Amino acid sequence: EVQLEESGGGLVQPGRSLRLSCRASGFTFSPYVMSWVRQAAGGGLEWVSFIRSKASGGTTEYAASVKGRFTISRDDSKSTAYLQMNSLKTEDTAMYFCTRGIFRYFENAFDMWGQGTMVTVSS
């Protein structure tokens, strides 16, 4: 079965760190752009970051709201993408979804989504 499974969410205090993982299965992981999108309770979607394939340089992009605090990475040998979140703020509280580009090397639309992992930043 083709799927994405997030893990690593939880309750964390402001200023602390958390690392999210996204394990892919059922498809060849390496050629795909992987992205994180978050959604606050009752709110809209907010794109967070994406990482291109190694063949495309493995380069990364970030939303302004997380740039300098979050780092996205990937381990193709484990079919897993990561989101390292540092200096967390209360406004980072959200459900974090892992997503995959619709086609190989495609970074503009995402056809596969995990069920999400909840991150709560609170003292």
Partner 1 sequence: QSALTQPASVSGSPGQSIIISCTGTSSDIGNNDYVSWYQQHPGNAPKLMIYEVNHRPSGVSDRFSGSKSGNTASLTISGLQADDEGDYFCSSYTRSSTLVFGGGTKLTVL
DSSP-derived secondary structure letter, 56: G
Q: For the beta carbon of residue 60, count every other beta carbon within 10 angstroms.
A: 14
- The number of angstroms, rounded, from the C-alpha of 108 to the middle of its chain's C-alpha atoms is 15
If binding means CB under 8 A, how many residues of this protein chain bind partner 1? 22
Q: Considering the complex, what minimum distance in angstroms separates the CB of residue 77 from partner 1?
A: 26
Q: Which of 1, 41, 44, 57 binds partner 1 (CB under 8 A)?
A: 44
Closest CB to partner 1 among residues 64, 77:
64
Q: Assess 57 for contact with partner 1 (CB under 8 A).
A: no
Residue 114 within binding range of partner 1, rule CB under 8 A: yes
Which residues is 40 bridged to in the sheet? none
Q: How far is CA 58 from the centre of its chain?
A: 15
